[in-house]
Structure 1
Amino acid sequence: MNMRKIFSSLIPLVAGISLLAGCNEEGKKSEVNAGMPKDGQELAGNIIFWHSFTQGPRLEVIQQAAAEFEKNHPKVKIKIETFSWNDFYTKWTTGLSSGNVPDLSTALPNHVVEMINFGALQPVGDLIDSIGRDKFSEASINEGTVKGQNYSIPLYSHAQVMWIRKDLLAKNNLPVPQTWDELYDTAKILTKDGVYGLSVPMGSNDLMATRFLNLYVRSGGGSLLTKDLKVDLTSPLVQDGIKYWVKMYKDTSPKDSINYNVLQQATLYYQGKTAFDFNSGFQIGGVKANSPQLLGEIDAYPIPKMKVGDPTPALETSNIPMVVWKNSKHPDIAKAFMKTLYDKDRYISFLKAVPVGMLPAIKGISEENAYKEDPVIKQFKHAESVITEAAQRGTAIGYEHGPNVQAGVLTNQHIIEKMFQDIITNDTDPMEAAKKAEKDLNNLLDTIIQ
């Protein structure tokens, strides 16, 4: 295990685990929630915004919003810093001890629970109310809610779906797979002529193998966490999932995918080198940039089920939020700026920076002509509907039992990825490898949650 990485992630978890348990009385007393500034109120101060919008169009919308805000509030300066998601996690976990955190930032749902546990965030319920609480889905708000306090506000949503190559299926007279067995058989047939049926990523610096395993297990009505929030890798359903992905790796995947992260995995599909992949609507932009000639040959369909007649499962949804940090000296400015990002015209421009990749987090936007008449959104209307339905049903990985710290350990420590690598590289028995990984993860949870 990478003990340095584990230690860095345990700092916020161990220090603040009592907040969810209701024991952090000092944190409650010191918690200050600067309210939303009034319309026309003069604002003054400098704020820092960390975000992970590394793609040009999204970054440009944020920069334009900051420039306009500064113009309207001459005594305000907004410094924008951009980090990849992996770098961001390291940045904030290590920055907590030194106070080197921003005024506001984007986050991932599992990050938010860790941030709340450390007492690192200010509530943003007043911001949500000023925009209109009824405009947001209750599920997306609840992901950042503890004891009635809202600590995050969703900016956009997406969900994991199955991406296909229509041309390859048509050429081989194959239907779109509806079950996991059908997916395996179809992917194996399509593994030829320089194309892999499905790449299975297992890189130990990302959560991709955890994601794939979670999709399989959730589709069978199970979970990687028990109801009492212990990691389960040894139940029959989870063991079936482990064996399924090992078989798929051996028969339909490039062997290098044992070390793939999310970008390496997606790039194969972008380049037309895989027939299937699991991802969000961000796939469209990647294919457009890498293989525009294939743009008309891709589409999204629901994640496979165990059996065709099974009910539609709740799988993985990501409601990407923003947060205000407790250390901020100007939370009123941070909230006022955040609110401008939801101004209808700007918000639609932001979403259209990655059309179909970023779905609206507030109701009514998808019915606006400026949104739905976007050429990419019109072309991928079917894919958008599939992703929207999946987003409405799902949760973050491990959140099927509600927001919890354990889900962050499950996804951030990459122990499941190392388990798969052990099975593949050392020919370790899946049950033996799973027992070790399960024990390691549960020992971590026991260390964190006393």
Structure 2
Amino acid sequence: MTSSVVDCGGNQQTTKSNTSSQTEEVKELDGEITFRHSFTQGPRLEVIQKAADNFMKENPKVKINIETFSLGDFYTKWTTGLASGNVPDMSTALQSHVVEMMDSEAIVPLDDLIDGIGRDKFAKTALLEGEKDGVCYSIPLYSHAQVMWYRKDLLEAANLEVPKIWDEFTTAAKVLTKDGVYGCSFPCGSNDFMATRFLNFYVRSAGGSLLTDDLKANLTSDEAIEGINFWLDIYKNCSPQDSVNYAVLDQANLYYQGKTAFDFNSGFQISGIKTNSPDLVDQISCAPLPKIKSDDPDYGAETSNIPMVVWAKSEHPEICKAFMKTLYDTDTYTEFLAATPVGMLPAITGISDSEAYKSNETIQKFANEEAVIANAVQMGTAIGFEHGPSVQAGLLTSQGVIEGMFQDIITNGTDVKTTAKNAEDKLNEIFDSVQ
């Protein structure tokens, strides 16, 4: 006999069965879900809402509620929500937190969804970030990587080349700190992980890691101490003093407003400049992260494959997966990426080569910058994931310990090595508490 069923993506399929003569009815999707994501404003929010509206039209018994959260609040929001039962049905996440979610049995496997879209379309490394015991619990929505952004006009006026090594970067940043412009802001706000990010750049460039091979905190290595002193020098000579309390948006806004010569970020810098200082759009570009020595190998310090997850408390995981699958439909996905072109790179193959994707004006204008970021995506991992996904890597960025270390040194003048050892011990105590 022939029967119709609905696969994990909500698509009707035809199968044959020899065990029954009764025709099975297609199971209509029916239920209400909440999708909590970090796209708090602008075109990305609009595209997601449009996709939800279209899905509800095609599935009239489904209701999708959209909620948003800021990335800075995410760790507290999901951990306290898990304890109280206040978690959504599906959400975006941070890759550094997915391991904790898996260990807490807070999210469900998504292998059927991944296979329904096409497993070979995703980078293996991106899928590995959400894998436990051979099972995938997250699916990457888009990718980006951290690179060095600079102002072409300021470098040209000072007769400076684009820095390729950290010493050149320091020299340029100090020279360009004048006339109301800072060479580079160094952010240390305790509610974000920006200082961890910047320290990781230097340590990774030196061939080190903020974690040891056995997943202990590693803040007293030669590379880490050098990196701490490097960024303290930048803070002292090239940065606004109140950056000691900056989070990611505070940091980005300075570059958006033309007040910093250098910054480290992804392709999201382009849309920020367009919105805040459109007259500077022709003056920005990016380059690979600086090295210690010019003949050092190329490296990637931080790649982000922004994941989506389905929460175990959901009564309708089938709806979540069906809706997720539609987000990868070519037209919808291309429109979503175009909401922040170059900032969000495709997490699946077959999109970046399409005419619809390549015809975007920003993609064309910043083709060289997109290539720099795409190359960095291939070489990097999430912070600490160079040892593989781990709870320790997530805690490294979520606890604000490294930020507190820098604040203590800057504000109280505490000895660098003493403070680094205290921070290292504190992180290791946190790591031990969750094992």
Place the TM-score, normalised by the shorter chain, in its bin: over 0.9
Alpha carbons 1:164, 1:276 under 8 Å: kept: yes
Offset of 1:41 from its aligned partner? 4.3
Offset of 1:425 from its aligned partner? 1.2
Offset of 1:98 from its aligned partner? 2.2
Q: What's the counterpart of residue 294 of structure 1? A: 280
Which residue among 123, 130, 140 is the counterpart of 1:137?
Answer: 123
Does 2:218 align with 1:237?
no
Which residue among 299, 305, 308 is the counterpart of 2:294?
Answer: 308
Offset of 1:36 from its aligned partner? 4.6
Q: What is the CA–CA distance in structure 1 between the aligned matches of 2:176 and 2:82, rounded to whole Å?
A: 48
Q: What's the counterpart of residue 180 of structure 2? A: 194
SS in 2 for 1:278: strand
Q: What is the CA–CA distance in structure 2 between the aligned matches of 1:155 and 1:75, rounded to whole Å?
A: 26
SS in 1 for 2:414: coil
Specify the code of the residue in structure 2 equivalent to 1:323. Answer: V
Q: What's the counterpart of residue 353 of structure 1? A: 339
Q: What's the counterpart of residue 284 of structure 1? A: 270
Which residue among 309, 313, 327 is the counterpart of 1:327?
Answer: 313
Offset of 1:368 from its aligned partner? 0.8
Specify the code of the residue in structure 2 equivalent to 1:43. Answer: L
Q: What is the CA–CA distance in structure 1 between the aligned matches of 2:385 and 2:371, rounded to whole Å?
A: 23
TM-score normalised over the length of structure 1: 0.91
Which residue among 391, 403, 406 is the counterpart of 1:417?
Answer: 403
Q: What's the counterpart of residue 251 of structure 1? A: 237
- The alignment yields a C-alpha RMSD, in angstroms, of 1.0
Alpha carbons 1:202, 1:261 under 8 Å: kept: yes
Offset of 1:372 from its aligned partner? 1.0
Specify the code of the residue in structure 2 equivalent to 1:408. Answer: G
Alpha carbons 2:8, 2:116 under 8 Å: kept: no
Q: What's the counterpart of residue 338 of structure 1? A: 324
Q: What's the counterpart of residue 117 of structure 1? A: 103
Q: Deviations over 1:192-243 (max 9, x none)?
A: 1111000000111110000000010001110000000000110111100000
SS in 2 for 1:263: helix
Q: What are structure 1's unaligned runs of at least 5 residues? A: 1-33
Specify the code of the residue in structure 1 equivalent to 2:216. Answer: K
Distance of aligned partners of 1:366 and 1:36 in 2 relative to their CA distance in 1, 3 Å threshold: closer
Offset of 1:38 from its aligned partner? 4.3
Q: What's the counterpart of residue 37 of structure 2? A: 51
SS in 1 for 2:315: coil
Offset of 1:248 from its aligned partner? 0.8
Does 2:126 align with 1:105?
no
Which residue among 341, 344, 368 is the counterpart of 2:354?
Answer: 368
Structure with a larger share of its residues in helix: 1
SS in 2 for 1:65: helix
Specify the code of the residue in structure 1 equivalent to 2:225. Answer: Q
Alpha carbons 1:47, 1:102 under 8 Å: kept: yes
Q: What is the CA–CA distance in structure 1 between the aligned matches of 2:11 and 2:188, rounded to whole Å?
A: 50
CA radius of gyration, larger in = 2
- Bigger mean CA deviation after superposition, 132-141 or 90-99: 90-99
Q: What's the counterpart of residue 16 of structure 2? A: none
Offset of 1:311 from its aligned partner? 0.4
- Give the number of aligned pairs: 416
Which residue among 192, 195, 201 is the counterpart of 1:209?
Answer: 195
Q: What's the counterpart of residue 223 of structure 1? A: 209
Alpha carbons 2:37, 2:69 under 8 Å: kept: yes
Specify the code of the residue in structure 1 equivalent to 2:43. Answer: P
Q: What is the CA–CA distance in structure 2 between the aligned matches of 1:186 and 1:88, rounded to whole Å?
A: 36
SS in 1 for 2:264: strand
Alpha carbons 1:270, 1:283 under 8 Å: kept: yes
Q: Deviations over 1:355-379 (max 9, x none)?
A: 1000000011111111111111111
Offset of 1:88 from its aligned partner? 2.8
Alpha carbons 2:8, 2:322 under 8 Å: kept: no
Q: What is the CA–CA distance in structure 1 between the aligned matches of 2:101 and 2:301, rounded to whole Å?
A: 24
Alpha carbons 2:108, 2:310 under 8 Å: kept: yes
Q: What is the CA–CA distance in structure 2 between the aligned matches of 1:438 and 1:91, rounded to whole Å?
A: 26
TM-score normalised over the length of structure 2: 0.94
Q: What is the CA–CA distance in structure 2 between the aligned matches of 1:291 and 1:367, rounded to whole Å?
A: 30
Offset of 1:381 from its aligned partner? 0.6
Q: Deviations over 1:137-195 (max 9, x none)?
A: 00000000000110000000000000000000011110000000110001000001111
Q: What is the CA–CA distance in structure 1 between the aligned matches of 2:125 and 2:64, rounded to whole Å?
A: 31
Distance of aligned partners of 1:442 and 1:183 in 2 relative to their CA distance in 1, 3 Å threshold: same
Offset of 1:42 from its aligned partner? 1.3
Alpha carbons 1:221, 1:313 under 8 Å: kept: no
Q: What are structure 2's unaligned runs of at least 5 residues? A: 1-6, 13-25
SS in 1 for 2:352: helix
Q: What is the CA–CA distance in structure 2 between the aligned matches of 1:195 and 1:305, rounded to whole Å?
A: 24
Q: What's the counterpart of residue 270 of structure 1? A: 256
